[in-house]
A and B are shown apart, each in its own frame.
Chain A
């Protein structure tokens, strides 16, 4: 690490020296009991999706803390119209929604922070699921990874519950549908159902608001941190460019697809057909199957699905982790991905996914069609993957038997020339300067979506600059 003495001094050298000084002293603390690696070249982000999930968790913590300043966890009263008059909405009705609406439209930077919070929550669920499947296919759930795996599954489930409590707090009709379903499922759980529902949802809607607020901002995050303390592996990869790019992408998504507040839930106004967030449409599809009891559809089936993944390391006892040596588990993973895709998309659609939804009666799914297509996709997904993996294995074995080399590709890294580095970095700096100016302009004109989009682009440009810095500072 010691720099050769003949090296020219850079502008950043004192700052880097200060950072190193701090870093060495931090090694006396608990923080650096974790071995954090800053990779000096690009490595696939698939390998550190977990770390990216943690970074998004931190973004959620920061933006969530800012939203706390303006959110009112209170439902209020919604009296119906007096006899013989038409209904007029009251200001006391659904104050939680009113406060979210004021965050979105009145509070300075409110809509920006809320958009980041919303898109980061989606990103966190997505990254957690991707992280899980990457580790699953990579076979990193057995051979002393068992505790990491099981805590990871628990953490994933808790993450989804955290997202659930979050979007319920808005008390729009989508949140209301989720509250209704959650409460029904809890009430129908055997023996302790009624007591559990009282504890989780409270008695009144004001109880519900304050309880979900407590769950969402304190209890569940604390539980997540506690599980993370066990789940974090000792070796972590903190890749600044990728972390910055992910943050940028979240902001860009917020700018391109700004989230609205939804339709206010008011018990005196007839509700509309609505769908849950995308990570719950799969459960919603099951709940809508005709004749399937809600508790089985919304609790037992997902629990069995999660359980199969949880116990995978205790049944896959082989010493080999490569995909090609685990045809059964790889095929199981592909089949389950297919199931998730089908039920998630179906959850957004009418009973017949090919027609447009106009009437609530169309939501009820025919069980024969639904389970038939699920079974068919399991059979196809499992069968084809299993056959493919076995075929690859046989092919490699044949090559090995014939003592022929096994072909594989390797990409040579591209090294920038000096002029390329200068022009690229210069261009990025110009782009950032331009974007900063237009952020300022957009702020003045209250164009919140542009602000988000442009901050996101600045972060992506920063990621590119750091990446160019790190690969070029090593080249001779």
Chain B
């Protein structure tokens, strides 16, 4: 079998290539110009193109792999200023209870808690004399005392919690990651310690706030960043 194969192929193979040769038609005076592309090459090319086009016809079907993204809220009431401030004023003078967790609140935005823990955020009443460094808030009498951030750590996506750097009551208010010890400054959520700081990652996404005439604080618009993404791609 194996001995016969090459013979069979040598007898059949030259046949198509020999046809365009000028020697095969000795009667014609002028030699026929060799064609731009041989028949075999043309057929193979057409076959390949056809296969590519056939595959391309269902190429977009990969979209079925994409998840369904629920509609996001465009604004959501979080808490009233008086309630947030009261919590702060009550514990301010008691060192044992003066824990950041006591004057901050968690909420889910712009997707509710059934969607993903990664959309959990914290709103905190900044302990005096800290003020929100964002220039658009610094003129507002209420919002300059308030910050709100997404709590998904940009290092490896654990959920951070408000706490103090070092000793309790040290006054240096930070957001701390319980998994690998990343710490974020409370006023602007910039990483100041731990792996997120070592890697030079972005701050936690900020929740944009607004306040109405009754002192109700609401989250509005989108987060200024993707939760858990600490690096611009």
Contact = CB atoms under 8 A, between A and B. Distances in A.
Interface of A: 76-81, 83-84, 92, 177, 180-181, 183-184, 187-188, 190, 193-194, 198-199, 202-207, 211, 267-268, 270-273, 287-288, 290-291, 293-294, 359-364
B157 A180 contact: yes
Contacts of B198: 290-291, 364
B134 interface: no
A371 B69 CA distance: 42
A207 B180 CA distance: 26
A137 B177 CA distance: 44
A271 B231 contact: no
Nearest to B115: A204
Contact of A184 (B65, B116, B156, B177): B156
Given A83-B105, A203-B70, A271-B179, A364 B114 contact: no
A147 to B, nearest CB: 22
A77 B114 contact: yes
A203 B115 contact: yes
A288 B158 CA distance: 14
Interface of B: 65-70, 79, 83, 87, 105-108, 111-117, 120, 155-159, 161, 177-181, 194-195, 198-199, 228-229, 231, 233
B181 A183 contact: no
Contacts of B177: 360
A84 B180 contact: no
Contact of B178 (A188, A207, A271): A271
Q: Which of B112, B113, B159 has the most CB of A within 10 A?
A: B113
Given A77-B113, A83-B83, A360-B180, A271 B67 contact: no
B107 A80 contact: yes
Contacts of A177: 156, 158, 179
A87 B59 CA distance: 48
B115 A290 contact: no
Nearest to B153: A180
A204 B180 contact: no
B156 to A, nearest CB: 5
28 contacts: A76-B114, A77-B112, A78-B113, A80-B107, A80-B113, A80-B120, A83-B105, A92-B114, A177-B156, A180-B179, A183-B157, A190-B233, A193-B233, A194-B233, A199-B67, A203-B70, A206-B115, A207-B67, A211-B67, A268-B106, A270-B178, A272-B178, A288-B180, A291-B199, A294-B156, A363-B179, A364-B181, A364-B198
Contact of A80 (B108, B111, B115, B178): B108
The 3 lowest CB-CB distance pairs between A and B, nearest first, are A77-B114, A267-B117, A361-B181
A364 B180 contact: yes
Contacts of A360: 177-181
A272 B159 CA distance: 11
A180 B178 CA distance: 13
B66 A204 contact: no
A199 B113 CA distance: 21
Contacts of B105: 80, 83
Nearest to B66: A198
A363 B65 CA distance: 36
Contacts of A361: 181, 194
Contacts of A193: 233
B179 A198 contact: no
A361 B155 CA distance: 13
B231 A188 contact: yes
Contacts of B108: 79-80
